[in-house]
Chain A
Amino acid sequence: MTAPPLPKQGPEISYREAVREAIREAILGDPRVFLMGEDVGRYGGCYAVTKGLLEEFGPERIRDTPLSESAFVGAGIGAALGGMRPIVEVMTVNFSLLALDQIVNNAATLRHMSGGQFEVPLVIRMATGAGRQLAAQHSHSLEGWYAHIPGIKVLAPATLEDARFMLGAALADPNPVLIFEHVMLYNMTGTLDGAGPVDIRSAKVRRVGRDVTLIAYGGTLFKTLIAAETLAKEGIEAEVIDLRVLRPLDTGTILASVRRTRRAVIVDEGWRSGSLSAEVSARITEGAFWDLDAPVERVCSAEVPIPYPRHLEEAALPQPPGIVAAAKATLGR
């Protein structure tokens, strides 16, 4: 994937390095912070995010775990209850299903169920999404499922700045926070000039436009920006919103944009049925129905387990031409 060119003043940094810097900063800044997960230490991380951290911080703070997702995610919850600020890395969202009980039945419930006595200040990071030909058990985008659950917050950093600074905001938040890092973003490079601490409340307008609102997050943001450039060449100015935070959804930013453009396309690598894109669409019709000039369009993954061959994988995922076509459809073109 190619990101639009960013200014090149400062040193180049990759998304992967930005996340690593965020982890380093967190560990250096708070003795309660530690990282645990499968192969985060000696191996350096499945996606090399944590390379070098074991050497720098030692095995107390950088903990390799057995392949026991339920136990180490649950241990993260327990450690958070016990006063620590754990960062738990799960290799991919597909593996997180082995820890679903702990996330949904414990992390999300303990504060409310205990009458507010206990809190779970835990951060769980995981890779999500397709694009590396990893087939149907390593490629899915299930963050929308997690966004269904009250009691947790769900983040999807798509930019270098968010990759670098969302973790700090998540650790400072007393609630359990899940961070989804799209696998196709790890190699994205750019500079962090002017970047600084970010909030984990709001969606951001990444491109201003007047004709149609394109709503994306994570791995689909740059595909959507590419589509917006194509549309611009045809005289259609698309506004692009990066959701950033999947729970709680920043409905206000979405509605404000759609009320101006009167048209919306939601781009989501998750499947269409029962999805996050469905939720965003519902909020638009609930909040801006009378402002719409066209039905809301959605560009989602084909309803198929992600296949292995490149041509099929590409066909299964949202791509810029499909986004362009959907945007034009809202304009009757």
Chain B
Amino acid sequence: MTDAHAIKPHLSREHLLDLLREMVRIRRFEEKCAELYQQEKIRGFLHLYIGEEAIAVGAMRALEPGDAVIATYREHGHALARGVSMDAIMAEMYGKIEGCSRGRGGSMHLFDAATRFYGGNAIVGGGLPLAVGLGLAEKMQKRSGLAACFFGEGAVAEGEFHESLNLSELWKLPVLFVCENNLYAMGTRLERSESQPDIHVKAQSYNVPAEVVDGMDVVAVEAAMRKAVAAIRSGAGPILLECRTYRFRAHSMFDPQLYREKAEVEEWKKRDPIDRLLSWMRQSGALHDADLAAIEAAVAKEVDRSVEFSESGKWEKLETLTADVYAGEVPP
């Protein structure tokens, strides 16, 4: 897996269209979720990934089916890009039993065994130790998989970030730490919570190789990921990628965004990862006139179908409320 083909993304027209399609799928899915939230079809917390799509899409293209993925509560994009069906994700938003977590998790807790998607973790930093353990399991069972762990920059203030980097490097575990640095931990800007706001620098304290990546550039993310994945598979131990990005929408649906200037949001929107890939494809002649319209049409159909699928889904019966708390029958 260390040959040049594996490391460099194939920048064929097909590949670029695939990246574009995946980002558009996430964007339109998230927009529909916001709409459904207003209609009270989706409840609870809802954290949208709009603006950050390049990271999940670029990253997942560099992973193999045998790899484990651990994400945060802003994980719809990761689940979609990993290959969890949009129907199952949307049904989970609705809380229906057809959902990828049987409706029990909702927006923040998407799980899927088939694609080794381990959530959907809504305690900031809590997913990192799981990734260390999943990496340990790969190594001890002499499998070639790795654990790819996504987390926001807010998580680096948690002890679990430091403990996990240290332990994974100490044991040279196949773990890829992907920090999605969108500058704000809910409403707290990075400089207001970190004495050292350069996150990749922190990794040096643990001898973990780290790199800064333009998280608004899907091709750059994929290239960095492929390089890191190849190094990890060759036994180099963990690597951290700090992907610099920005969320265009509020933290959740309850956020009036008093902590940031509209001008800042507008400035970052000029670097929209979808627009950026589109203009690059246009310049290089990889985008044909009908491509975008075709993608949008197909995605719109897929999104509509996922809504219909969820609307017609079923609620879990009250009799099975406590099923799966334990394996087997365990009295309270």
Chain B, residues 293-332, CB within 8 Å of chain A (1/0): the string is 0000000000000000000000000000011111110111
Chain B CB within 8 A of A118 CB: yes
Task: Give chain B residues whose Cβ lies under 8 Å from the Cβ of A84.
Answer: 136-137, 140-141
Count A interface residues, CB 8 Å: 45
Chain B CB within 8 A of A191 CB: no
A173 CB to closest chain B CB (Å) equals 8
Interface centre among A83, A112, A175 (most CB of B within 10 A): A112
- Asked if A79 meets B136 with Cβ closer than 8 Å, knowing A101-B126, A105-B126, A114-B111, the reply is yes
Contact in complex: A74, B130 (CB < 8 Å): yes
A97 CB to closest chain B CB (Å) equals 13
Task: Give chain B residues whose Cβ lies under 8 Å from the Cβ of A111.
Answer: 324-327
Stretch of B36-44, B161-169, B228-236, B269-277 with 4 or more beta carbons under 8 angstroms from chain A: B161-169
Contact in complex: B327, A174 (CB < 8 Å): yes
Chain B CB within 8 A of A68 CB: yes
Across the interface, B133 reaches (CB within 8 A) one of A68, A75, A101, A248, namely: A75
Chain A CB within 8 A of B160 CB: yes
B17 CB to closest chain A CB (Å) equals 32
Contact in complex: A83, B105 (CB < 8 Å): no
Contact in complex: A112, B324 (CB < 8 Å): yes
Q: Looking across the interface, which residue of chain A has its beta carbon closest to that of B320?
A: A116
Contact in complex: B113, A117 (CB < 8 Å): yes
Within 8 A of A (CB), among B27-68: 68
Contact in complex: B331, A251 (CB < 8 Å): yes
Contact in complex: A80, B123 (CB < 8 Å): no
- Asked if A73 meets B129 with Cβ closer than 8 Å, knowing A66-B166, A68-B166, A150-B325, the reply is yes
Contact in complex: A113, B109 (CB < 8 Å): yes
Chain A CB within 8 A of B159 CB: yes
Within 8 A of A (CB), among B8-36: none
Within 8 A of B (CB), among A285-323: none
Stretch of B75-83, B95-103, B189-197, B237-245 with 4 or more beta carbons under 8 angstroms from chain A: B95-103
Q: Looking across the interface, which residue of chain A has its beta carbon closest to that of B175?
A: A78
Chain A, residues 129-160, CB within 8 Å of chain B (1/0): the string is 00000000000000000000011010000000
Task: Give chain A residues whose Cβ lies under 8 Å from the Cβ of B109.
Answer: 113-114
Chain A CB within 8 A of B131 CB: yes
Q: Looking across the interface, which residue of chain A has its beta carbon closest to that of B161?
A: A71
A119 to B104, CA, bound (A): 15
A319 CB to closest chain B CB (Å) equals 32
Interface centre among B102, B166, B324, B330 (most CB of A within 10 A): B324
Chain A CB within 8 A of B132 CB: yes
Q: Looking across the interface, which residue of chain B has its beta carbon closest to that of A76?
A: B133
Chain B, residues 166-193, CB within 8 Å of chain A (1/0): the string is 1100110000000000000000000000
Task: Give chain A residues whose Cβ lies under 8 Å from the Cβ of B102.
Answer: 114-116
Contact in complex: B323, A77 (CB < 8 Å): no
Task: Give chain B residues whose Cβ lies under 8 Å from the Cβ of A80.
Answer: 133, 137
Q: Looking across the interface, which residue of chain A has its beta carbon closest to that of B171?
A: A63
- Asked if A114 meets B138 with Cβ closer than 8 Å, knowing A65-B167, A102-B129, A175-B327, the reply is no
Q: Looking across the interface, which residue of chain A has its beta carbon closest to that of B122?
A: A105
Interchain residue pairs A-B with the least CB separation, the first 4: A78-B133, A74-B129, A82-B137, A115-B102
Interface residues of A (CB under 8 A from B): 32, 34, 60, 63, 65-66, 68, 70-84, 86, 101-102, 105-106, 110-119, 150-151, 153, 173-175, 248, 251
| Interchain residue pairs with CB less than 8 A apart (8) | A65-B167, A71-B128, A75-B133, A77-B130, A78-B130, A78-B134, A115-B97, A115-B103
